[in-house]
């Protein structure tokens, strides 16, 4: 049914990606987007991303908008852990280093991106203008920016496969 395609090896044109800065948490933002866009984004299977020695788990929401698949990837992880339990940083309670894996956001450029919204296949120019106008109505949406597809580093980590 849909796909969150952030894999350079995927066939077909890349999805349109919008970086969103929001003052809200993911559930509130999804609710506001559902109201303002008239979509029904719902929680899908979490996305697991690898960053150096850390694995992070991010929330993913999926729905349809104007005949396209729309996915919202929450950039702040819900949890994170070391890839190797024996090679983790930190030596315990009295160490100045941390024992738990840091909660790193996956998308670091541009800064302060709370979530990314992907639309696949992309919309026409008129549909994009309508979408951006509808997004600007959301009270907790502070900023939105188109992120060029190839500028997302580590996109091979993110792959949405629908539940069958």
- Cα separation, 122 vs 158, in Å, equals 18
Give percent of the chain above pLDDT 70: 76
Total domain count for the chain? Answer: 1
Residue 141 located in a structural domain: yes
Spell out the residues 6+ positions from residue 103 whose beta carbon is closer than 8 angstroms to its own.
56, 76, 77, 79, 80
Place of tokens 């890839």: 83
Domain-located, residue 52:
yes
List pLDDT tens digits, range 19-76: 999 988 889 999 998 988 888 899 988 888 888 888 899 999 999 888 888 889 999 9
pLDDT value of position 114: 92
In a domain, 6, yes or no: no
Instruction: Please indicate, yes or no, if residue 8 is contained in any of the structural domains.
Output: no
pLDDT attached to residue 77? 92
Is 5 within a domain? Answer: no
Query: In this structure, are residues 89 and 81 in contact, taking their beta carbons and an 8 Å threshold?
Result: no
As a whole number of angstroms, the longest Cα–Cα distance in the chain is 58
Question: What tokens appear for 141 in the block?
Answer: 């949406």
pLDDT tens for 68-114 read 888 899 999 999 888 876 665 555 555 556 677 888 888 888 888 99
DSSP 8-state assignment for residue 5: B
* Inside any domain, residue 117: yes
How far apart, in Å, are the Cα atoms of 144 and each of 1, 16, 28, 122?
26, 13, 17, 17
Which residue range forms the structural domain that includes residue 144?
16-85+100-157
Specify if 1 maps to a domain.
no
Q: Is residue 20 part of a domain?
A: yes
* pLDDT at residue 31, as a whole number: 92
Is 0.95 topped by the overall pTM?
Answer: no
CATH number of the domain at 57, please.
Answer: 3.30.310
List the one residue out of 89, 80, 149 whose CA is nearest residue 116.
Answer: 149
Please indicate whether residue 17 or residue 8 has the higher confidence score (pLDDT): 17
């Amino acid at each position: 049914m849909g796909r969150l395609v952030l894999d350079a090896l995927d066939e077909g044109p890349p999805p349109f990606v919008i970086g969103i800065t929001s003052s809200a948490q993911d559930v509130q933002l999804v609710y506001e987007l559902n109201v303002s866009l008239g979509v029904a984004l719902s929680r899908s299977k979490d996305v697991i991303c690898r960053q150096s020695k850390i694995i992070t788990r991010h929330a993913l929401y999926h729905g349809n908008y104007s005949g396209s698949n729309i996915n919202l990837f929450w950039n702040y992880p819900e949890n994170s852990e070391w890839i190797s339990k024996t090679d983790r940083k930190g030596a315990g309670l009295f160490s100045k280093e941390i024992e738990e894996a840091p909660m790193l956001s996956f998308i670091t450029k541009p800064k302060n991106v709370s979530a990314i919204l992907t639309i696949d296949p992309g919309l026409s120019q008129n549909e994009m203008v309508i979408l951006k106008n509808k997004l600007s109505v959301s009270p907790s949406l502070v900023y939105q920016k188109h992120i060029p597809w190839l500028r997302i580093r580590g996109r091979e980590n993110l792959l949405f496969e629908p539940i069958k």
